[in-house]
Structure 1
Amino acid sequence: MRKAALHNLGCKVNSYETEAMQQLLENAGYEIVPFTEEADVYIINTCSVTNIADKKSRQMLHRAKNMNPDSVVVAAGCYVQAAGEELKKDVAVDLIIGNNKKTELVSILDDYFSDREEALEETVIDIRGTREYESLSIDKIADHTRAFIKIQDGCNQFCSYCIIPYTRGQVRSRKPEEVVEEIKRLTATGFKEVVLTGIHLSSYGKDFPVEERITLLDLIIKIHEVEGLKRIRLGSLEPRIVTEEFAKELSKLSKICPHFHLSLQSGCDATLKRMNRHYSAKEFYHCCDILREAFPNPAITTDVIVGFPGETEEEFAITREYLEKVRFYEMHVFKYSKRNGTKAADMPDQVPEQVKSVRSNELLTLEKKMSHDYRKSYLGSTTEVLMEEAYEWNGTRYMIGHTREYVKAAVPFEEGLKGALLTGTLTEMLNDEVLLLNLNGQN
């Protein structure tokens, strides 16, 4: 029996695909071992979102070969699409497998083991030329509380800083019946919450033939009917999908978690235009208003890039003031990182790293305050928490989980609580990030 180890880099979509590849290997008789152990096959699902991600991908490939020089090292995913020819020359890499070829992992390995000298030219396709959704699926996940479900791949937006449309291709959607069936299987094994994820989730269904076309909302309504499923959480949304009708219909669905990640990137219209984002700051703010009218105190989270080429002190100040106005629950703050092959990489007025760091730290300080204020706003409220894992604070053990708004809450530790849905009152803040749930204080 051959041993295989897998390592994931990058986004939640990559994580899902890594889980799916692991199950393909298990079904083919491979023994799965931790990546830190010696294996016959190492599979690294790579990321290429920035130059730094490329570097991390290369480092992990070389680390795998160093752990066992006789092993077969497989580079899979986005970095392969971006730098396939370069990887073919890398002595640490034995096989490259691009996106939309991961389903063929086992047969590609079989062919390689039967004839190592045979060139495998067909393991990377022109991803921009395909309209086929890669049919990966999962039946189980190690964490029995929340399952990420990939429903869509590709992106047609072409933001000026982003390489993803070139490494993931155009929008491709998974058939709704396949999504529902996978969720039914996972729910039957004990999962209570699913997170719908994709490269550009809001584009779901737009690539289907007119007679088969459905929207993301249509799919959510189908998923809502799955028996035993308690929660539906949405991944990152394009702001423009949030219309009054969209929010109103979602608010009718009891399983929907009022936790919405709307990717902003900048609060300054001039910066948004250079980024080739397809909305204005005013339009984004209106989307937040719509959600707050449809749901009581929803969690709205976002991404922000600081130091984008040409971002002046004035533009940054506009963004900071805007973020305070919107009042996000959480912000993921990124320093702009140049990505070769994108328009932004060649733009003038690149911002010095030191300036990026100052701006990033300023927004992280703001994020900490806004996040604390949002959590604090739930003190005294009755809520439901999905228990996930053990947690220790100041020498005391707790069981910790998340509310529907993705606020962390804890109860005194007891065996057997993982996966339980507990309802109680949030009575105090255990620390800056976790609230205490009092089960005896239910209304």
Structure 2
Amino acid sequence: MKKTAAFLTLGCKVNSYETEAIRGMFEAAGYEIVDFKELADVYVVNTCTVTNIADRKSRQMLHQARKRNPEAIIAAVGCYVQAKEEELLNDSSVDLVIGNNRKSEIVRLVEKYISDKNSYNMVVDIDEEKEYEDLHIISTMERTRAFIKIQDGCNRFCSYCIIPYVRGRVRSRDEEDILAEINKLAGMGYKEFVLTGIHISSYGTDGKIKKEDNDDMPLAKLIKAISVIPGVERIRLGSLEPRIITEAFVKEMAGVKQFCPHFHLSLQSGSDSVLMRMNRKYTAEEYEEKVRLIRKYFDIPAFTTDVIVGFPGETEEEFKETLDFVQRIGFSHIHVFKYSKREGTIAAKMPNQIPEAIKQQRSNELISVAKKMSMDYKALFLGRIEKILFEEEEEIDGVKYQIGHNERYVKFALKSDENLINRIVHVKTDILLTDDLLLCTMQQ
């Protein structure tokens, strides 16, 4: 009988990519993959440590796996491991402790554990790691869109963020390796590729990417190289820092027909004084200038972002500056986060921590403003002809719809019994079906 393995991912899209790669390694080694809620011989929890809540969730999932099968091998991998090595080494629920930049060794370690029953600790000094870890995916759980990891690590050290301490410095993946992976996935039918990483704006800045004469835009060069791969219909970017948005970069992207004009530009605050305390290294005016630059080259581009409310010392006036700023930009979507203390960061030690009640009130107010902006942005597409990549079927009030997104990541619904999954179809937008969905009709 085949040995079984189950996987759980906590946290970001980078973790999701890495779990897919690990799953592929276990499949190649002859394991049968089962759901995490089922009995398995091996449980792998790819952990997260971005907040204290994420830490708690990581512990809970490891303990849950041990409870489900006391005889199983439990492997804790990833960011929480990197941050809490000693704690996990003393946790009886955990057999293998594997940090970042060592995930590619997991199958070997599991097999070694099976043979000698010794626990293993594979947590390295991540600050000393210089090379990108060799991980690849052979397929993904999604049917139309593939997330592609292009770099790891971050050098920015925002005052609220633990990630540079657990992911290490910027390490870029070889362009040839990225292109080979996308080429293979495109050949399998994937049409959209989302470039992701811990800080993709830093791709190539570590000096590991071969540069040609006058090539100071390695990310733009990579995107152009991806665009000529047969079968690639869309290229989308993960979160970007404002500094990468130069006229030269935006102009290059506007010339790539597969590039999706959906910009997730990390903001965090619209107040310069808060941005300074966050160590964000740009001002609200500089951010707004980047938005103006993008709008110069793209028709109704989508801007999405993250905003933290209740950062230490945030006054009512500073919060009002953020409210005014986001409305001036006109985001299509905002991820709103209430500031959460993260042990080990500078912000956790700052004075004037904001009470939870005030953070909740500011969060509610910003969410309300963000919802209106999102509705206003969707209204811009009424009556337009759009290209939709359909991704799933969904039944709403007893009616079957095909669901997908346009290039700007606006969600559409088409009433149809025909399975359109993984097809790109021209549609005309009719009305807003729900807060999240635009109803459309197919165009011939």
- TM-score, normalised by the number of residues in structure 2: 0.97
Quote the Cα distance in structure 1 between the aligned partners of 2:179 and 2:376: 37
* SS class of match (2:11): coil
Q: What letter is aligned with 2:70?
A: P
Quote the Cα distance in structure 2 between the aligned partners of 1:82 and 1:138: 26
Pairs within 5 Å for 1:110-259: 110-117=111-118, 120-121=120-121, 123-209=122-208, 212=211, 215-259=218-262
* SS class of match (2:291): helix
Match of 1:64 in 2: 65
Aligned residues of 2:151 and 2:173 also touching (Cα < 8 A): yes
The alpha carbon displacement at 1:2 in A equals 1.1
Match of 2:425 in 1: 422
State the number of aligned residues.
Answer: 439
Match of 2:436 in 1: 433
Match of 1:315 in 2: 318
Return the match for 1:298 from 301, 312, 336: 301
* SS class of match (2:84): helix
Match of 2:102 in 1: 101
Match of 1:283 in 2: 286
Quote the Cα distance in structure 2 between the aligned partners of 1:71 and 1:438: 51
* SS class of match (1:246): helix
Match of 2:366 in 1: 363
Aligned residues of 1:390 and 1:413 also touching (Cα < 8 A): no
1:393 and 2:412 aligned? no
Identity of aligned residues (%): 54
Q: What letter is aligned with 2:116?
A: D
The alpha carbon displacement at 1:393 in A equals 1.8
Aligned residues of 2:95 and 2:120 also touching (Cα < 8 A): no
1:348 and 2:348 aligned? no
Q: Which 4+ stretches in 1 moved above 6 angstroms?
A: none
Q: What letter is aligned with 1:73?
A: I
Quote the Cα distance in structure 2 between the aligned partners of 1:252 and 1:414: 36
| 1:346-396 Cα shifts (integer Å, max 9, x gaps) | 000000111100000001101110000100111011110000001122221
Q: What letter is aligned with 1:113?
A: I
Aligned residues of 1:202 and 1:241 also touching (Cα < 8 A): yes
Q: What letter is aligned with 1:347?
A: M
Match of 1:373 in 2: 376
1:13 and 2:14 aligned? yes
Q: What letter is aligned with 2:426?
A: T
The alpha carbon displacement at 1:210 in A equals 7.7
Unpaired runs of 5+ in structure 1? none
Quote the Cα distance in structure 2 between the aligned partners of 1:185 and 1:239: 32
Quote the Cα distance in structure 1 between the aligned partners of 2:379 and 2:209: 47
* SS class of match (1:161): coil
Q: What letter is aligned with 1:181?
A: A
Q: What letter is aligned with 1:255?
A: Q
| 1:41-82 Cα shifts (integer Å, max 9, x gaps) | 100000000111000000111011010111111100000000
The alpha carbon displacement at 1:411 in A equals 1.0
1:45 and 2:77 aligned? no
* SS class of match (1:112): helix
Pairs within 5 Å for 1:23-34: 23-34=24-35
Aligned residues of 1:383 and 1:423 also touching (Cα < 8 A): yes
The alpha carbon displacement at 1:314 in A equals 0.9
Unpaired runs of 5+ in structure 2? none
Quote the Cα distance in structure 2 between the aligned partners of 1:393 and 1:422: 21
Distance change >3 Å, CA 9–CA 210, structure 1 → 2 = closer
The alpha carbon displacement at 1:37 in A equals 0.3
Q: What letter is aligned with 1:98?
A: G
Aligned residues of 1:265 and 1:305 also touching (Cα < 8 A): yes
Quote the Cα distance in structure 1 between the aligned partners of 2:246 and 2:206: 21
The alpha carbon displacement at 1:415 in A equals 3.8
Quote the Cα distance in structure 2 between the aligned partners of 1:17 and 1:58: 19
Match of 2:5 in 1: 4
Pairs within 5 Å for 1:321-336: 321-336=324-339
Quote the Cα distance in structure 2 between the aligned partners of 1:226 and 1:279: 35
Tell which deviates more after alignment, 266-275 or 424-433.
Answer: 424-433
Aligned residues of 1:49 and 1:163 also touching (Cα < 8 A): yes
- TM-score, normalised by the number of residues in structure 1: 0.97
* SS class of match (1:406): coil
Quote the Cα distance in structure 2 between the aligned partners of 1:425 and 1:120: 57
Quote the Cα distance in structure 1 between the aligned partners of 2:140 and 2:184: 11
| 1:162-195 Cα shifts (integer Å, max 9, x gaps) | 0000000000000000000100000000000000
